[in-house]
Amino acid sequence: MCGIIGYCSKNGKASQVIFEDLKRMEYRGYDSSGVAMISDGKLLVKKGVGKLEEVNRKYKLDKIPGSVGIGHTRWATHGGVTQINTHPHCDCRNEIAVIHNGIVDNYQELRKDLIKRKHRFLSETDTEVIPHMLEDEMKRGRSLEEAVMAVAPRLEGSYAFLAISTNEPGKVVGTRKGSPLVVGLGKNKAFAASDSMALAGQIDQLYMMGEGEIAVLTADKTVFFDSTGRPISKKATKPDAVWNDNNKEGYEYFMLKEIMEQPDTLLAATHQDKDVFTAVALDVLRADQIIVTACGSSRYAALVGRYLFSSVGKKFCEVVMASEFQYFAESVSRNTLVLAISQSGETLDVIDGVELARKAGARIVSIINRPQSLLGELSHNVLYLNCGPEIGVAATKSFLNQLAIFYLLAFSMVHSFDMAVDNIRKVSRQVARAIDWNNDVIAGITKEYHDKNDFYYIARGINFAIASEGALKLKEISYIHAEGMPAGELKHGTLSLIEEGTPVLVICPGDFTYKETLGNAIEAKARGARIIAVSDVNNEVYDHWIRIPRVHDLLYPMVSVVPLQLLAYHMATRRGRNPDMPRNLAKSVTVR
């Protein structure tokens, strides 16, 4: 959450570049944004509340003069969404500016202490302690990097922050602990950013910053230090070209583009190294216990994976919500395999759990989309989704590819990787049909239901997690309350909420769950529910039939989730919401 960018150049137009790079990181937070530049020895700061383009229209962030600067796009944690709380934050003398992603847990003590020593605070943020602490250190004659080295160990919590100072105008200094930070270098230019995607097409060398490391950037030269202040040499990697592709290609929203490209991205999920899958499958089979940890959509993909492991590999695994993982840490041992699932590879709840599990000696295998992620660094083995950048906050193609990876892994347990690849390739054509058949139909259905306040999604067995995923999609982008649950649970409480006209989404493919799920739909209908069914089999009980192609039982989740994504998308746009940037959310959740 929050995108940070620092840039050193020689051309006096750094703010244009910073603004463009912030645009590519806006998915990390979009409630407010700001830029600080050093220009003619002075610090110029402009910032405001709203989406980046709006803030730019008002404050001309991209026109601030200067060759060195920093920029921030915020997802508020400490302090409301106000101009004063927007980053960058400065010291008392307006000589130092800082941007930060993360949370300084001990900011209250630090702030009290700084106020006692006559520092003046303007904002309610945790971040503002940092420029004031740097100010104290620089007053003692320390350079900016020495000040950062002195301050960072006193900050508890997680952070990646960048600082500039008018005393050392050509420089950006950055460090990280718990939150991501990369450094990218091109000819006569140096960047530090939360995300390598922000630097797309601008750099030749990419460096992943390790915990506690410090980078000192100038346009000509960048140097690195470890947390004790010792100079270190780091190995550069080449930036991945695929991750440069992040435009909407004519679609109004990234989400729609990402839904539509799923037949292709699903194929990309099959471009895998069979040996790696065989090795991981062996890890799964050998482990005494398997714990899958993930959040949000990734956890729902894991719930489908649990069925696949059980029915194909005959191996039971537990799926634990990553934010709850720490409460089960005592059960993790050397014989545990932890499977961590995360599109971004950055989700802090997942990283926390994995760190605990590593300490207990567990083996860690991750399923990730983003290359060069923190989670990847912590894992013994990584399986990649290969679906390219996903910019819309709602997970769509990454979810589908997570299902595909679980499918490949489950069949690798029974030496059938190649067959699984063939099946997924075939199902990619069925995903295309599910889109073609339903896009307009679903847009029509939303006309009738867009003013409803509550939706219920039901399904059974391997399809149950698709009900939960469909409900999550609807609520996060259209702001309609929605609940997904196993169809058999409805009668244990939720049925009392069903009244005349309540929409109930029934995921009811013609598989081993069909009869019982249909029975539950009939029970809901008897209480006045309007039944919207996702199925390959029509039935008179349905008020609306969203038709999906017939596929093998274990592949239905891959085709039935797609219409539910479209339903959420059309509902959101009909209600005038921007599905790419739902309120209060961000794509990478790097806070606890």
Q: How far is the CB of 78 from ligand M6R (least distance, A)?
A: 20
Our finding on whether 393 is near ligand M6R (CB under 6 A) is yes
- Angstrom distances, CA of residue 218 to CA of 34, 121, 221: 21, 29, 5
CB 25 within 8 A of CB 197: yes
Indicate the residue among 343 and 478 with the shorter CB distance to ligand M6R. 343
- Name every residue whose Cβ is closer than 8 Å to that of residue 582 and which is 6 or more positions away in sequence: 393, 394, 476, 477, 479, 572
CB nearer ligand M6R, residue 37 or residue 589: 589
Beta-bridge partner residues of 206? 184, 237
Element (H, E) at 406: helix 397-412
- Binder of ligand M6R out of 25, 155, 378, 395 (CB under 6 A): 395
- Close Cβ partners of 186 (under 8 Å, ≥ 6 residues apart): 202, 203, 204
* The only residue of 9, 298, 463, 520 in contact with ligand M6R, by rule CB under 6 A: 298
Identified binder of ligand M6R from the candidate list 67, 123, 293, 297, rule CB under 6 A: 297
DSSP string over 553-588: GGGHHHHHHHHHHHHHHHHHHHTT--TTS-TT--SS
Q: Is 394 in the site for ligand M6R (CB under 6 A)?
A: yes
Residue 296 binding ligand M6R, by CB under 6 A: yes
352 binds ligand M6R (CB under 6 A): no
Residue number with the shortest CB distance to ligand M6R? 296
Q: Which of 2, 295, 317, 508 is catalytic?
A: 2
Q: In angstroms, give the least distance from the CB of 298 to ligand M6R.
A: 4
Under rule CB under 6 A, residue 364 binds ligand M6R? no
Taking the least distance from each CB to ligand M6R, the nearer of 67 and 590 is: 590
Shortest Cβ distance from residue 406 to ligand M6R (Å)?
A: 14
Question: Contact between 26 and ligand M6R (CB under 6 A)?
Answer: no
Determine the Cα–Cα distance for residues 169 and 171; give it in Å rounded to an integer.
6
Q: Which of 23, 47, 171, 587 is catalytic?
A: 587
- Report how far residue 72's alpha carbon sits from residue 69's, in angstroms, rounded to the nearest whole number: 11
Q: Is 168 helix (H, G, I), strand (E, B) or coil?
A: coil
Instruction: Please check whether residue 195 is in contact with residue 28, taking contact to mean a CB–CB distance below 8 angstroms.
Output: yes
Report if residue 401 touches ligand M6R, rule: CB under 6 A: no
d(CA 55, CA 23): 12
Stretch that binds ligand M6R, among 135-143, 194-202, 295-303, 552-560 (CB under 6 A): 295-303
- Asked whether 350 and 294 are in contact (CB, 8 A), the reply is yes
Residue from 476, 483, 536, 580 in contact with ligand M6R (CB under 6 A): 476
Q: Work out how close the CB of 26 gets to ligand M6R at its nearest, in angstroms, rounded to a whole number.
A: 15
Residue 2 appears among annotated catalytic residues: yes
CB of 492 to ligand M6R, least distance (A): 25
Pair of tokens at residue 258: 């990402």
CA–CA dist 497, 292 (Å, integer): 32
Nearer to ligand M6R by Cβ, of 85 and 369: the residue is 369
CA dihedral sign of residues 168, 157, 360, 181: negative
127 vs 347, beta carbon nearer ligand M6R: 347
DSSP β-bridge partners for residue 173? 163, 216
**Under the phi-then-psi rule, with left for phi > 0, alpha for psi from -120 to 50, and beta for the rest, what region is 243?**
alpha
Which of these segments, 117-125, 289-297, 429-437, 511-519, binds ligand M6R (CB under 6 A)?
A: 289-297
CB of 346 to ligand M6R, least distance (A): 6
Q: Judged by CB under 6 A, which of 130, 350, 521, 561 binds ligand M6R?
A: 350
Q: Which is nearer to ligand M6R, 90 or 295 (CB)?
A: 295
Interface segment toward ligand M6R; rule CB under 6 A; list 3-11, 241-249, 387-395, 490-498: 387-395
Indicate the residue among 15 and 347 with the shorter CB distance to ligand M6R. 347
CA atoms within 13 A on the CB side of 210: 12
In whole angstroms, the minimum distance from the beta carbon of 113 to ligand M6R comes to 35
Using CB under 6 A, which of the segments 10-18, 53-61, 93-101, 389-397 binds ligand M6R?
389-397
Contacts of 482 (CB under 8 A, 6+ apart): 454, 455, 456, 457, 470, 471, 472, 474, 475
DSSP 527: T
**Helix ranges (DSSP H) in 97-143:** 107-116, 129-139
- Residue number with CB closer to ligand M6R (90 or 319): 319
Write the interaction track for ligand M6R spanning residues 308-347; mark x where CB under 6 A is met and - where it is not.
----------------------------------xxx--x
Place of tokens 């939706």: 455
Q: Does 353 bind ligand M6R (CB under 6 A)?
A: no
Q: Using H for helix, E for strand and C for coil, what is the string for 482-500?
A: EEEEEHHHHHHCHHHHCCC
Give least dist CB 371 to ligand M6R, A. Answer: 13
Check residue 461 and report its DSSP letter: G
Nearer Cβ to ligand M6R (4/295)? 295
Residues that bind ligand M6R (CB under 6 A): 295-298, 342-344, 347, 350, 393-395, 472, 476, 589
Which amino acids are annotated catalytic? 2, 587
